Amino acid sequence: MVNVCDTGVELCGVRLDNPVIPASGTFGFGREFAEFYDLDILGAISVKGTTREARFGNPTPRIAECRGGVINSVGLQNPGIDAVIGEELPALRRIFHKPIIANISGFSIDEYEECCAKIDHEEQVEIIEVNISCPNVHNGGMSFGTSPGSAAAVTRAVKGVTTKPVFMKLSPNVGDIVSIARACEDAGADGICLINTMLGMRIDTMRRRPVIANKMGGFSGDAIFPIALRMVYQVAGACALPVMGCGGVSCADDVIEMMMAGATAVQVGAANLRDPYACMRIVEELPERMRHLGIERLEDIIGVVK
């Protein structure tokens, strides 16, 4: 029986005390959760998605509850890159002393490039996560992450202006996730994060109209875990890059499954919206589950399922 458990992992040279990371968009800029528990128990934090200009977001209502999850259409509400750098990151660093992951979104390659170049200069940030699920305004609104060519173009652009590790966050709303991950790898990405939300919809049957003002939104929660796990397994087996797994993770066993499928670190998303203590609970549960499964070092189980 294992007595001492090592939960530490290494992500592109960045050491994490444990693999548990609140996912971007579900944890604000970190400060919102500091009243619930000591944030320093986390492995890292991926902060709210950031764009060049401040965004109010989509019209309300933006949230629809579902069996096994939730649909959101917040629309990347954020104060803009300059405010994030000048206010949010310094405020988070004062209360959080572990790695910070900056999540960058954009609606053109120029925007991705500009925001990543700015955030690369910030000492508070250890890793840059690039969300390519945004609509490309110069290509009819199709997401950058829906084609290998577009995904590679964003990757090349941001890698040309950054020195920090860059993880490309991929959309699951595609036919072949592996081809897109490989395109990002070939274009110089340092890692892959997957999956982002799936596209979903709810209808108010009394009013006979969509629940969400934007009609459709990102579906996340427990129900998408098997899909996320499958995609992590496929990409980890096809690429030589570290993977951050995300999608439906809500307990320590989910983290272990993700890592066995090939993830080096694991993000927790919708669970934070349902239970603000979700990440704390998972971190506390991990050693017990490791002992139960005879796991001495979490790094030893990364990708053990072939």
Cα separation, 176 vs 181, whole angstroms: 9
Task: Give the Cα separation of 58 and 45 in Å (integer).
Answer: 24
| Candidate list 115, 134, 246, 251, residue with the active-site label | 134
CA distance 99 to 21: 10
CA 106 to chain centre: 15
User: In 3-state terms, what secondary structure has residue 132?
Assistant: coil
C-alpha torsion sign, points 158, 120, 73, 250: positive
Looking at the DSSP assignment, which residues form a beta bridge with residue 46?
101
In what helix (H) or strand (E) does residue 269 lie, and over which residues does it extend? Answer: none
Q: Which uninterrupted H or E stretch holds 51?
A: none
Is 66 in contact with 221 (CB distance < 8 Å)?
Answer: yes
* 194 and 235 Cβ atoms separated by less than 8 Å: yes
Bond prior to 21 in cis (omega within 30° of 0): no
Q: Is 27 exposed, middle or buried (0-12, 13-18, 19+ CB in 10 A)?
A: buried
Annotated active-site residue 279? The verdict is no
Cα dihedral 130, 44, 48, 225 in deg (nearest 10): 80
Q: Which residues have a catalytic role annotated?
A: 134
